[in-house]
């Protein structure tokens, strides 16, 4: 298969810098996901790799060879677009088989590939239909299948399952990942859906405003976000990020969450590694405290190293219940909210008071000014 390397890629559209000095190194047979919000530059990155857009600066390598001056046809990549355009006069079968004909494969091999991929995508019953007889989701699956039959050096996938319903999207995530492992095809996949990214990727790059914010495995990014943007973007629900301050008192560090004139929401920081790391970075300062909702502990009874606060809302979701507590009213008149993931049978009511603390070694701290992680 192939490696993909982007070295100091910058792409501009007039005064807009879509990609700002991007460097990425995708390994052979890797499933690599570029995750970002709409307008972050994800599709532009794919178009540069495919040769549809040319960067103003930097070099793109496929298998160690610069392809900046190669045409899209010479790059041997398959681009799966978010919106698929099918040949209207051809059947689904003929659309899927179309890219195989120039490769001079036998009719038996073409038929085997088309039917194998059609079965994987659950579209074998559509093979004799024409595009005007397909729904939007069916069209997307056919377009995905047309790319997958080719077995190129690299798959470039631009949110290929975004138009599918939730159940089929879950199935397709597993199917695409399984097929990629089976074929060993290097895959560069872009999405705005962090669930897709976390469940499919070998590694993830977080892109924001044309710049890479963090690169790592899903576990690395979730457990060690590099900055506040990543912390707030990854996770469902996302990490709680609360303006706070840290102070040293009686040989311990205390965390006080913003309470906006209410009673102090304060606990001791009890994890030795976190305490040492904060002491090494001058702890007596304003910070942003971060904690994943599943690392927030709520209780009806008084518990050690906890503060008491009021329930703001309760969201039963079946497998879990999201309990939101208020830390006070901020200067704009809205509540500062802390979300906790609890067991589905946890009983709480709006207006009730609960005791709140955090898993000691799962607390995160960010610089209030730069937004960068302190630990």
**Coil, helix or strand at residue 107:** helix
Buried b (16+ CB within 10 A) or exposed e, 200-218: bbbbbbbbbebbbbbbbeb
Residue given tokens 């920081």 in the structure block: 269
Q: What is the mean pLDDT of residues 265-277?
A: 92
Find, among 332, 257, 313, 252, the residue nearest to 288 by Cα: 257
Q: What is the pLDDT of residues 282-325, one digit of tens each?
A: 756 679 999 999 999 999 999 999 999 999 999 999 999 999 99
What's 72's DSSP letter?
G
Show the CA angle centred on residue 113, arms to residues 110 and 115, nearest 5°: 105
pLDDT confidence of residue 156: 93
Q: Specify which residues 183 forms β-bridges with.
A: none
Q: What is the mean pLDDT of residues 234-259?
A: 88
> Mind listing the domains of the chain with CATH numbers?
4-233 (3.40.50.300), 240-367 (2.40.50.140)
Is a pLDDT exceeding 70 seen at residue 252?
Answer: yes
Q: What is the mean pLDDT of residues 132-143?
A: 84
pTM score of the predicted model = 0.88
Cα–Cα distances in angstroms (integers) from residue 263 to residues 211, 234, 296, 350, in the given order: 40, 31, 19, 19
Of 122-136, 182-196, 292-306, where does the model show the most confidence?
292-306
pLDDT confidence of residue 161: 83
Q: What is the pLDDT of residues 192-227, one digit of tens each?
A: 999 999 999 999 999 999 999 999 999 999 999 999
Q: What is the pLDDT of residues 51-90, one digit of tens each?
A: 999 999 999 999 999 999 999 988 989 888 776 678 899 9
Q: How confident is the model at residue 168 (pLDDT cuts 50, 70, 90)?
A: confident
């Amino acid at each position: 298969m192939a490696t993909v390397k982007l070295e100091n890629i910058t792409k501009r559209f007039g005064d807009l810098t879509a990609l700002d000095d991007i460097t990425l190194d995708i390994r052979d047979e890797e499933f690599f996901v570029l995750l970002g919000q709409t307008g972050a530059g994800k599709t532009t990155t794919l178009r540069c790799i495919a040769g549809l857009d040319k960067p103003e600066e930097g070099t793109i390598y496929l298998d160690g060879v610069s392809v900046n001056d190669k045409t899209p046809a010479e790059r041997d990549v398959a681009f799966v677009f978010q919106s698929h355009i099918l040949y209207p006069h051809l059947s689904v079968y003929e659309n899927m088989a179309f890219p195989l004909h120039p490769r001079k494969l036998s009719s038996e091999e073409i038929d085997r590939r088309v039917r194998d991929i059609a079965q994987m995508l659950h579209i074998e019953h559509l093979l004799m239909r024409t595009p005007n007889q397909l729904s939007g989701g069916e069209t997307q699956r056919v377009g995905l299948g047309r790319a997958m039959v080719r077995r190129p050096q690299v798959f470039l996938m631009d949110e290929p399952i975004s138009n599918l319903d939730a159940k089929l999207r879950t199935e397709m995530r597993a199917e695409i990942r399984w097929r990629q492992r089976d074929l060993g095809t290097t895959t560069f996949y872009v999405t705005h859906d962090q669930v897709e990214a976390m469940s499919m990727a070998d590694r993830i790059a977080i892109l924001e405003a044309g710049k890479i914010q963090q690169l790592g495995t899903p576990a690395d990014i979730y457990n060690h976000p590099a900055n506040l943007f990543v912390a707030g973007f990854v996770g469902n629900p996302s990490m709680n990020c609360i303006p706070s301050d840290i102070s040293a008192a009686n040989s311990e560090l205390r965390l006080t969450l913003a309470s906006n004139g209410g009673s102090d929401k304060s606990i001791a920081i009890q994890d030795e590694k976190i305490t040492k790391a904060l002491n090494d970075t001058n702890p007596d300062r304003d910070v942003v405290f971060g904690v994943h909702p599943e690392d927030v502990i709520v209780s009806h009874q008084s518990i050690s190293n906890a503060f008491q606060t009021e329930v703001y809302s309760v969201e039963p979701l079946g497998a879990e219940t999201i309990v939101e507590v208020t830390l006070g009213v901020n200067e704009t008149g809205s509540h500062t909210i802390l979300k906790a993931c609890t067991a589905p049978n946890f009983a709480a009511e709006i207006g009730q008071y609960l005791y709140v603390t955090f898993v000691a070694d799962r607390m995160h701290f960010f610089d209030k000014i730069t937004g960068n992680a302190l630990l």
